[in-house]
Chain A
Amino acid sequence: MGEAISNYAKRILPSTDLDRLLEALQQKGYTLVGPTVRENAIVLEEIEGAEDLPVGWTETQEAGSYKLSRNGSEEYFDFASGPHSFKKYLFPPRLKLWQAKRHRAGFKVEQENDQAPSYAFIGVRSCDLCAIEIQDKVFMGDSYVDPVYKERREKAFILAVNCTKPGNLCFCSSMDTGPKAKSGYDLAVTEQLKESEHVFLIQAGSEKGHELLEALELADADEGAVEFENKQLEDAATSMGRFLDTHKLPSVLKNNFEHPRWEQIADRCLSCANCTLVCPTCFCHTVEDTTDLTGDVAERWRQWDSCFTGDFTYFAGGSARASTKSRYRQWLTHKLSTWTDQFGTFGCVGCGRCIAWCPVGIDLTEEAAAIRATDLVSD
């Protein structure tokens, strides 16, 4: 995705100066959101400074398994995707859209005008950056713009982290969504821990980022640091734990709607919706109308929904997708096939969250590969 490569100069930020950068963001009025350890996982929360980052923590992931552990490293970003993505800030799980009050014979609608905070997202990996780019198309890509998303998105500052530690479930190399952040960030860093020094190679990707960086008055990066960064990213690109063959994948899946594999997945799938809710690109939601006891006040709320629920396709007479087979097939073919027709990219960024957080370890790379391997309409 996005081929734009920044022309701004690369600088060196000593790791001990990370707080200077974070404080500069706070002084500009940003609320910091970044990775931190909570409840046996590295989650995304509001943070106060560098001390809240998961220094010395890492994790190992398998299908249906996420194991947090201490590794004693001094690194700040030595881990792969966790259970949260930044979508929870741009596309909140539950939100009041408006309320209406009875007024004479009719009613009066009052819009919700709460101002969203300006978030600075700290430590956004390239996969998640691409996921934000995908959601930008969904929520702001045509004439129907979502004002909630737009406000939050436009106010946000993005501090990306080039990913040098892909995990066992990562496959951004397959999806062309990483490990290097190509565009869409304000600042991007590459963490470098060598024997004698611990630094961040830092580069602006926008005017906003450039201004902030200039104010920090950092030294230019030398050739050695840039070469080391190239090597780090080359190594990362070839150490993905998962692989997805995307060659003609949309048509392979379209040709295999009646593949027996769908039924086999349905035997395992719990239809619990976890995959869709951890996915950083899934955008489905529902609206719910509520009233107070007197019926004088009504509210409309928006909340996350999932194509794995029966209510999702419920209309008079029942659910259009009543079986788990039809729900899983809908989800996987949307991500890896019909999304390309709808939005021009895959709906998957290779972050591996759906694999780790599936309670029974269903792996979409394995399922897509199994269908390709026994393609019913191979050409």
Chain B
Amino acid sequence: MSLRKKPKLAVYKFASCDGCQLSLLDCEDEILAVAGAIEIANFPEASRAVTSGPYDLTLVEGSITTPHDAERIHAIRRSSKVLVSIGACATSGGIQALRNFKDVNEFVSVVYARPDYIETLNKSTPISDHVWVDFELRGCPISKAQLLEVVNAFLNNRKPNISKESVCMECKMRGTPCVMVANKDPCLGPVTQAGCGAICPAYNRGCYSCFGPVASPNAGSLSHWWESKLGVDKDKLVRSYRGFNAGAEAFRQESEIHERG
């Protein structure tokens, strides 16, 4: 065991379902090694004992949806040496970014008995729209192997081995025949960042893009193929790009093109 001071870890939550931060607790086989290597200083889901900052590594889950949260994230940034946003909410605004395409006040007036109690922003936005983020870990939910890799890379002062390339590469490496080519199933894999291990194609389903767009997505070409060869209509195209990463710039643009007709 190497001798070094344990770095302090903090985990914060914004608008999200908690699934991503729970991935850390879900690292059953590795959790003791994690706890041995890092001091869990501020992680309310794991422990009520909170040690004050600053923190060496901060994981932030969730998107910014309220004026209060838009303030809070700045305080968190100030107390964090390295800030990593985790999950689709934190990296692209999440499923709740569907509000970005509509009038949020209309939702509030329909859903809540006292709309005047609700203070919310028009848009759900990723953490990187508000503060500097050192690394974005994609996924809905994130992959626990990738989360461990990020923590591991941080501890060992190296770059995380996280691919920004397509899900197709994972399919090909595991030997899964392409579901779009062989089954005519629409699949977002070619424009989606790897990381899940190509789970859906391995179970004969098209990719839903839980991990958001690749570094240079050509969604226009993919949509054209879906429409012209797979018989996908405009409504389905819009819905496909409006999943967990609806707010990601490339997907937002592509869905709006098809919404306009």
Do A and B associate with each other?
Answer: yes
Residues of A within 8 A of B (CB): 38-41, 43, 64-68, 82-84, 88, 93-94, 102, 267-274, 277-278, 288-296, 303-304, 306, 309-311, 324, 356-357, 359-361
Shortest beta-carbon distance from A272 to chain B in Å: 4
Q: Is B51 on the interface with A (CB-CB < 8 A)?
A: no
Contacts of A64 in B (CB 8 A): 180-181, 225, 229
CB distance from B165 to the nearest CB of A (A): 5
Between A and B, 19 residue pairs with Cβ closer than 8 Å are A39-B177, A43-B175, A65-B229, A83-B175, A83-B178, A270-B191, A272-B168, A274-B168, A274-B190, A277-B168, A288-B161, A293-B33, A293-B151, A294-B36, A304-B172, A304-B173, A310-B164, A311-B163, A359-B222
| B204 at the A interface (CB under 8 A) | yes
* Chain B residue at minimum C-beta to C-beta distance from A312: B165
- B253 sits at the interface (CB 8 A): no
Point out the residue from A93, A293, A311 that lies within 8 Å of B34, measured CB to CB.
A293
Whether B257 is near chain A, meaning CB under 8 Å from some CB there, is no
Q: What is the CA–CA distance of A271 and B229 in the complex, to the nearest angstrom?
A: 19
Q: How far is the CA of A267 from the CA of B221 in the complex (A)?
A: 7
Q: Is B49 an interface residue (CB 8 A)?
A: no
Which of chain A's residues has its CB closest to B33's CB?
Answer: A293
- Contact check, B222 vs A274: say whether CB atoms are below 8 A apart: no
A93 interface neighbour in B30, B173, B189, B225, Cβ under 8 Å: B173
B17 within 8 A of A: no
Q: Which residue of A lies closest to B159 (CB)?
A: A289
- Which of B1, B151, B181 is the one whose CB lies under 8 Å from A357? B181
List 15 extra interface pairs beyond A39-B176, A303-B173, A306-B165, CB under 8 A.
A41-B177, A64-B225, A65-B181, A83-B177, A93-B173, A274-B172, A274-B178, A289-B158, A291-B152, A291-B156, A293-B37, A294-B1, A295-B155, A310-B165, A359-B180
Chain B residues with a Cβ closer than 8 Å to the other chain, count: 50
Q: Is the interface of B mostly helix, strand, loop or mixed?
A: helix
List the A side residues contacting B52 at CB < 8 Å.
none
Q: A271-B218, A359-B168 are in contact. Are A294 and B190 (CB under 8 A)?
A: no
Query: Do A43 and B177 form a contact, CB below 8 Å, given A270-B222, A274-B172, A278-B172?
Result: yes
Contacts of A84 in B (CB 8 A): 175
**Chain B residues with CB under 8 A of A94:** 173
Considering only CB atoms, which chain B residue lies closest to A93 in the complex?
B173
Chain B: minimal CB distance from A84 (Å): 6
B166 part of interface (Cβ distance < 8 Å): yes
Rounded to whole Å, the gap between the CB of A96 and the closest CB of chain B is: 14
- Bound-complex Cα distance A169 to B153 (A): 45
Is B225 a contact partner of A361 (Cβ separation < 8 A)? yes
Expressed in whole angstroms, the minimum distance between the Cβ of B130 and any Cβ of chain A is 26
Instruction: Take A277-B173, A293-B34 as given contacts and tell me if A39 and B182 are in contact as well, using a CB distance cutoff of 8 Å.
Output: yes
B47 interfacial contact with A, CB 8 Å: no
Q: Which of B152, B166, B174, B221 contacts A292 (CB 8 A)?
A: B152
Shortest distance between the CB of A210 and any CB in chain B (Å):
33
Are A296 and B221 in touch, CB under 8 angstroms?
no
> Hey, which chain B residues are within 8 Å of A294, CB to CB?
1-2, 33, 36-37
Cross-interface CB contact of B161 among A272, A290, A296, cutoff 8 Å: A290
Q: How far is the CA of A290 from the CA of B159 in the complex (A)?
A: 10
Chain A residue contacts of B152, Cβ below 8 A: 290-293
